[in-house]
Structure formats: C-alpha cells, structure tokens
C-alpha cells in the first residue's frame, strides 16, 4: 500500500501544475484577443468570427461586429466561404473514389462525356488533374464561367459553357489555380451520384460531420441567414448587392459558420470514419515534387508545410488551416473583401500561428495607395481636360488639324484603356469589377472623361470652323 501511495505522489509531482497550464492558456488567448481586436479595427472589417482549435478542443472563439442586416456575429452566423469550398468538394470526390464510382486517373470523359476541349496533345484531362489544378484550362477561360450571378445558372449549365475550350497547356504539366477545375468536379459528382451536388454534400459530408449550418445551394443559404456582405471602396466597407453564383458551390459559393468549419478541421486533424486511412492521408498530403496544391489544399512553398486554404467572394472572405503535428487548426470568417487588401488579410492567420508558436505577431497595414493614386489620376485628368476645353473655347482661331487629332486620339485612348488594363492584369472586366470595384469605377470615369473630352473637342472645332466660314462668306 505504501508503495502505491508513493508511486501516486511521484506521478503527481511529475505532472505540470494545473495553474501554470491555465495561466499559459490565458496568456495565449489574451494575445490572440488583443491582436484580432487591432486587426478588425485597422482593416475596417464590419463582422468576423474566429475559432482556434488545439488538441481536440476550442481554445479560442470570439466574434466581432455585425452583419449587413445589423445582426451581431456569432459562432453560428452564416458566411460565404469562397474557395474554402474546394477542400469540401475534394472530400466528396474521395468518398466516391472509395465507393469505386470514380477513378482518379480516368479521363473526365468517362463521367461527363458531353464536355469537350481542344488540346495540342492526345493526353486527356483526368480527375486527378482537376483536383491538383493541372488541367491546362487557362485563367481567362475559367473567369468566363465562374462568379456568374444569373438566377437560372446551375453547375451543368456553367460547365457546358466551358465545353469546347482550348487548353493553354497539356494536361498534368503546369499548375494553374482555376476555379473552373472544381466546377467540373462538381459536375462529375452530380453525374456519378445521380443527384444534385447540394443534396450529395448534405447527405454525405455535412450531416455526417455535424455541419448542420453549412449549405451548397442558394435557397438553403437564405434559410440559414445568408445576407449581403461588404465590398471595400478605398478601404471602407460598402454593403454589396448580395452576390451568389448558383453554379459556384463546388468551387466557392458554399456557406458555413465558424462552428461548422471547426468541425471540419477536427475531422481533418483526427480522420473520422468517412475515409479509409489511405484515402485520408491522400486527402491531406502535400503533392509530390515541388507542387504547392494537393487535393483541395494549398501548402506553403517555404517554412513549415501544412494544409491551408483561403477563400473569397466579392463581399466575403474565409481562411482555414491545420497543422497535424501540432494538433492545431483555426477558422477565420469575415464579411468584407477587396483583392488588393488580400495580403493584409493573410497576416491575421499568420499572426495566430505566430502567437501559438510563442512568437510576436506582425500585422501588415492596409495599403490603399493604388486606389488613391488611381482616383488622383482621374481628378488630375478631369482638371487638365476641363482647362484644355476652356482655353480652346476662348480662342478665336484654332489649328483645326491639330485639335481634331487631339479629339480623335482622346476617344481612341478612352476606348483602349479597358482592353489594355484587363490584358495586363490577366482578368476580365467583369471580374475586375467584382473584386476591385473602386478601381473599376475610377477607370470607367477615366474612360468617360477622355471620350467626352474627345467629342467636345471635335464638336467645338467643327462649330468654330462653321462660324469662321460664315464670317469669311459675309466679308
């Protein structure tokens, strides 16, 4: 008996003091709280929700601000999660692989034979190529069929619009992140499962994982409280019109909550019964070679290697990550987005990881220089053009040829700004308006100013010419 008591005392002495562990946890949560409070204020984010998971439990959960309808953000508030939808679609594909209904290395023709594409080689696009973002479909072609807000749009209809595309690269050779790849995966899931994508996700993914507030269709999203988010204009949140792509759930238009995505991260950390051990490891493993995108997950190119994904729609942003070796993960949802602010937003999760590692977090300031410079250029152009028109009108005689050339050149310049800018940026004009709306508006103003200026110059010169001829005739 004495030996038993002595052994127990030795064991107790070896354990870390409970109050020390509690104090350390409190210090960590206090640091996260202070860091996030600063980020939310500095980035002018109207509403946000953050959950940090460690060793199987939530060690931090807090919410900030409100949604566009005035409701306070909670752990169960619905957000659009953007491309964080892709890991969920990838999980759905793996379920069908393990059921023997999909072969990762089969050509996609086997599942959606109506989808055609042109390529310089005979090599076929496979399901694996779509998962790894190596199909060869170009960014611009993808932009043409994604983020489309037509009410009658659906997954198969959007995929058929892409049919006939010419590949920019042979399948499997070049990585090119493209949401169109996951649109096609969604279409494959519908074809193989014989049911709508949203129904399959609800029955096979959301319900088994306890993600009861997660949706993959618009009607369900509205029932769970989806409201418009905010676009950013010069860094300030502006309530959007409420944008939802009815064909976009496989790649970017699922809705979820911080609580539900925490359950998904728990699954990715623990590997519940949805997949075999082999399938589960494949799902979360880094691709071979120097690839940075696996089965629905990004992997950092430098430093620690771990799965993560960011996601954005025009008015929402999401980010998740998990580190299996540390049994750590986190979910961050916000209701504001702008593409030129994306780097700053990334520093929030970087800061969370730094705090968990015992390091000092660093918040990257919101930089709106490009927007302000563009606005300044528009104002300067307006001043110069108005001054030019005023001076020309005041002149009794003008050099007709020179001023007509100036007028026509101004119109041509106005007509060329949009094609030139979109070509340089590698995006469509529509996509530009969705993700950098203030820049698009300022460029539109610039085009309008140059075009109006050109026509005013031409009309004024023509009018002065008629007046001069009348005077000459009268003399």
pLDDT in tens, 79-99: 999 999 999 999 999 999 999
Neighbours of 169 (CB within 10 A): 17
Q: Which residue has the tokens 């058929």?
A: 160
Give the model's pLDDT for residue 393. Answer: 83
> Does residue 60 come out as left (phi exceeding 0), alpha (psi in the -120 to 50 range) or beta?
beta
| Tokens of residue 220, six digits | 């369900």
- The string of pLDDT tens digits covering residues 309-327 is 999 999 999 999 999 999 9
Q: Kindly tell me if the per-residue pLDDT of 3 is higher than 60.
A: no
Give the model's pLDDT for residue 467. Answer: 63
Cα–Cα distance measured from residue 78 to residue 92, given in angstroms and rounded to the nearest whole number: 22
If you average pLDDT over residues 148-172, what whole number do you get? 94
Cα–Cα distance measured from residue 452 to residue 444, given in angstroms and rounded to the nearest whole number: 12
| Tokens of residue 308, six digits | 């993560």
Give the model's pLDDT for residue 386. Answer: 93
User: In the structure, what pLDDT confidence band is assigned to residue 249 with cuts at 50, 70 and 90?
Assistant: very high
Q: Which residue has the tokens 């169960």?
A: 76
- The 10 Å CB-count burial string (b at 16+, else e) for 83-92 is bbbbbbbbbb
Q: Kindly tell me if the per-residue pLDDT of 10 is higher than 70.
A: no
Report which DSSP code applies to 296: S
CB 79 within 8 A of CB 228: no
β-pairing verdict for 79-80 and 255-256: antiparallel
Question: Within its chain, how far is the Cα of 154 from the centroid?
Answer: 20
Q: Which residue has the tokens 């203030």?
A: 438
Q: Which residue has the tokens 């030129």?
A: 340
Cα–Cα distance measured from residue 206 to residue 31, given in angstroms and rounded to the nearest whole number: 33
Q: Kindly tell me if the per-residue pLDDT of 27 is higher than 50.
A: yes
Neighbours of 67 (CB within 10 A): 22
What's the mean pLDDT when you consider all of the chain?
91
Q: Kindly tell me if the per-residue pLDDT of 227 is higher than 70.
A: yes
β-pairing verdict for 236-239 and 165-166: unpaired
Q: Which residue has the tokens 């029932």?
A: 223
Give the model's pLDDT for residue 401. Answer: 87
- The string of pLDDT tens digits covering residues 434-447 is 999 999 999 999 99
Cα–Cα distance measured from residue 259 to residue 336, given in angstroms and rounded to the nearest whole number: 19
Cα–Cα distance measured from residue 145 to residue 328, given in angstroms and rounded to the nearest whole number: 36
User: In the structure, what pLDDT confidence band is assigned to residue 403 with cuts at 50, 70 and 90?
Assistant: confident
- The string of pLDDT tens digits covering residues 410-425 is 999 999 999 998 888 8
Query: What distance separates the 2 farthest-apart alpha carbons in the chain?
Result: 132
Cα–Cα distance measured from residue 445 to residue 452, given in angstroms and rounded to the nearest whole number: 10
If you average pLDDT over residues 347-357, what whole number do you get? 95
Give the model's pLDDT for residue 471. Answer: 61
Cα–Cα distance measured from residue 331 to residue 81, given in angstroms and rounded to the nearest whole number: 10
User: In the structure, what pLDDT confidence band is assigned to residue 5 with cuts at 50, 70 and 90?
Assistant: very low
Beta bridge partners of 329: 53, 322
CB 161 within 8 A of CB 225: no
Contacts for 209 with CB less than 8 Å, ≥ 6 apart: 263, 264, 267, 272, 274
Which comes out higher in pLDDT, residue 218 or 475?
A: 218
Q: Kindly tell me if the per-residue pLDDT of 246 is higher than 60.
A: yes
Give the model's pLDDT for residue 53. Answer: 95
Report which DSSP code applies to 132: T
């Amino acid at each position: 008996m004495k030996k038993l008591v002595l052994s127990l005392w030795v064991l107790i002495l070896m354990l870390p003091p409970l109050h020390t562990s509690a104090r350390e946890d409190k210090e960590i949560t206090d640091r996260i709280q202070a860091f996030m409070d600063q980020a939310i204020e500095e980035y002018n984010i109207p509403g946000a929700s953050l959950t940090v998971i460690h060793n199987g439990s939530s060690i931090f959960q807090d919410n900030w601000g409100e949604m566009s309808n005035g409701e306070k953000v909670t752990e169960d508030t619905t957000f659009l999660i953007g491309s964080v939808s892709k890991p969920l679609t990838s999980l759905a594909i793996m379920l069908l692989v393990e059921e023997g209904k999909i072969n990762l290395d089969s050509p996609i023709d086997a599942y959606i034979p109506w989808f055609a594409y042109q390529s310089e080689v005979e090599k076929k696009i496979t399901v694996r190529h779509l998962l790894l973002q190596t199909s060869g479909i170009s960014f611009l072609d993808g932009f043409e069929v994604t983020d489309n807000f037509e009410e009658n749009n659906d997954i198969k209809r959007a995929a058929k619009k892409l049919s006939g595309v010419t590949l920019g690269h042979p399948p499997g050779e070049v990585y090119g992140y493209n949401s169109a790849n996951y649109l096609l995966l969604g279409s494959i899931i519908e074809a193989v499962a014989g049911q709508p994508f949203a129904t399959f996700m609800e029955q096979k993914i959301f319900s088994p994982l306890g993600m009861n507030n997660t949706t993959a269709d618009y009607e369900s999203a509205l029932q769970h409280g989806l409201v418009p988010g905010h676009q950013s204009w010069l860094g300030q949140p502006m309530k959007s019109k409420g944008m939802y792509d009815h064909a976009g759930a496989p790649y970017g238009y699922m809705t979820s909550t911080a609580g539900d995505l925490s359950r998904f991260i728990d699954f990715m950390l623990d590997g519940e019964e949805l997949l075999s051990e082999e399938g589960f490891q494949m799902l979360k493993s880094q691709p071979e070679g120097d690839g940075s995108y696996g089965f629905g997950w990004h992997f950092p190119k430098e430093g620690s290697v771990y799965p993560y994904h960011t996601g954005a729609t025009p008015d929402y942003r999401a980010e998740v990550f998990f580190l299996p070796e540390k049994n750590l993960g986190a979910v961050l949802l916000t209701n504001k987005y702008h593409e030129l602010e994306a780097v700053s937003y990334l520093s929030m999760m970087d800061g969370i990881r730094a705090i968990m590692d015992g390091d000092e977090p660093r918040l990257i300031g919101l930089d709106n220089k490009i927007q302000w410079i563009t606005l300044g250029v528009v104002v300067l152009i307006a001043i110069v053009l108005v001054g030019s028109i005023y001076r020309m009108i005041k002149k009794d005689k003008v050099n007709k040829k020179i001023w007509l050339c100036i007028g026509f050149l101004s119109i041509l310049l106005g007509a060329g700004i949009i094609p030139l800018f979109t070509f340089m940026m590698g995006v469509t004009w529509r996509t530009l308006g969705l993700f950098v709306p203030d820049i698009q508006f300022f460029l539109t103003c610039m085009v309008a100013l140059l075009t109006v200026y050109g026509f005013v110059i031409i009309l004024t010169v023509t009018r002065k010419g008629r007046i001069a001829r009348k005077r000459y005739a009268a003399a």
